[in-house]
Copies of this chain bind each other. A is one copy, B any other.
Amino acid sequence: MLLRVQPDSRVPLGEQIAACVRGALADGTTLPGERLPPAREVAASLGVNVHTVLRGYQRLRDEGLIELRRGRGAVVRADESTRGRARLLTAARSLIAEARGLGLADEDVLSLVRTALAAGPAE
């Protein structure tokens, strides 16, 4: 399980950690039943506070993706993986179809996405 973090990002660190796990879940890197590394370990590895990691874990628990239990750690629960990625790809194809319908070239689509990316998180 590869956990990366960008301290200068506008996205909260806890959310970034949660997003990493979601991603690993989405692409099959992490499977149901698998155990996430202990929060203290992740914290030391990322140079981040334990509470921050746990906040990310608790967020995943609230989303129903993992279970948290004292002494046992964080265990992946549901199988949300392929569905999320499928949603994402569908959204991407829809975006592209709409762009082509407006006569935009591929480069135009990419630069549009770049613009929206630079604008920051919408929610």
Which residues on A are within 8 Å of B, measured CB to CB? 6, 10-11, 15-16, 18-24, 26, 59, 62-63, 81, 84-85, 87-89, 91-106, 109-110, 112-117, 119, 121-123
Contact = CB atoms under 8 A, between A and B. Distances in A.
User: Do most interface residues of chain A lie in helix, strand or loop, or is the interface mixed?
Assistant: helix
Contact of A101 (B22, B96, B103): B22
A89 B116 contact: yes
Contact of A109 (B26, B93, B117): B117
Contacts of A119: 59, 62-63, 93
A49 to B, nearest CB: 20
Contacts of A21: 103
